[in-house]
């Protein structure tokens, strides 16, 4: 079994070989490492994309807006992912971010995952009835029934989720009230400790 370090290094070198700068290649290495760590087919997908990249053209996206439309070519998932990561502080202000077509969308996921960690919010990406939830770079969940993510995503929508509690205010108050009993115990314990604090070794003789 290949180590995550090997996966990172080989992905980085392959990315440089197909024409990306070393800076971009390093980001790809980190991203494929994340995909493989979370159980997704990062190496396989990157292989497929790079073989196709030699023959076909893809649209590079440097500035991301709320609505992004490429008239002719699908967006390159790597340049899009890096742009998203770089601009996340601006993008988190948008309610939704849309793209009409992204090639090999699986390759975008780790960039969104890392973005999620930076802003401390979950990020949801959906396309073609498939949903992925990026959770602060801790895990990636999906309704994808198998590991074969489509090579082309149409009508892509990204939402940055607002943080909220998974419990009601009443449930919180109830548990908080119960926790206050611990404060009473701690107070009594401190009083007992303080009562004995003035004793010296001579007091025991």
Token readout for 2 is: 């290949």
Instruction: Note the pLDDT tens digit of each residue in 1-58.
Output: 999 999 999 999 999 999 999 999 999 999 999 999 999 999 999 999 999 998 999 9
Mean pLDDT by 10 residues, the chain (205 residues): 96 96 97 96 96 93 96 96 97 96 97 97 95 95 83 96 92 93 68 59 51
For residue 80, CA distances in Å to 52, 75, 102, 114 come to: 17, 7, 9, 14
Burial class (CB in 10 A: 0-12, 13-18, 19+), 33: buried
Q: What pLDDT score does 182 carry?
A: 81
Give the pTM: 0.84
């Amino acid at each position: 079994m290949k180590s995550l370090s090997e996966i990172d290094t080989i992905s980085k070198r392959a990315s440089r070989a197909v024409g990306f700068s070393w800076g971009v290649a390093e980001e790809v290495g980190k991203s494929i490492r994340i995909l493989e760590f979370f159980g997704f087919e990062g190496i396989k997908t990157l292989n497929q994309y790079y073989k196709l990249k030699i023959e076909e053209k893809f649209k590079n996206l440097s500035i991301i807006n709320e609505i992004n439309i490429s008239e002719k070519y699908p967006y390159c998932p790597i340049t899009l992912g890096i742009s998203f990561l770089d601009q996340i502080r601006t993008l988190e202000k948008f309610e939704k971010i849309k793209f009409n077509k992204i090639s090999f969308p699986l390759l975008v996921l780790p960039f969104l995952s890392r973005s999620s960690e930076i802003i401390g919010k979950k990020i949801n990406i959906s396309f073609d009835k498939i949903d992925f939830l990026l959770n602060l770079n801790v895990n990636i969940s999906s309704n994808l029934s198998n590991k074969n993510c489509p090579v082309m995503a149409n009508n892509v929508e990204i939402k940055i989720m607002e943080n909220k509690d998974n419990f009601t205010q009443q449930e919180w108050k109830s548990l908080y009230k119960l926790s206050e009993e611990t404060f009473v115990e701690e107070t009594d314990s401190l009083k007992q400790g303080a009562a004995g604090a003035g004793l010296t070794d001579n007091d025991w003789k």
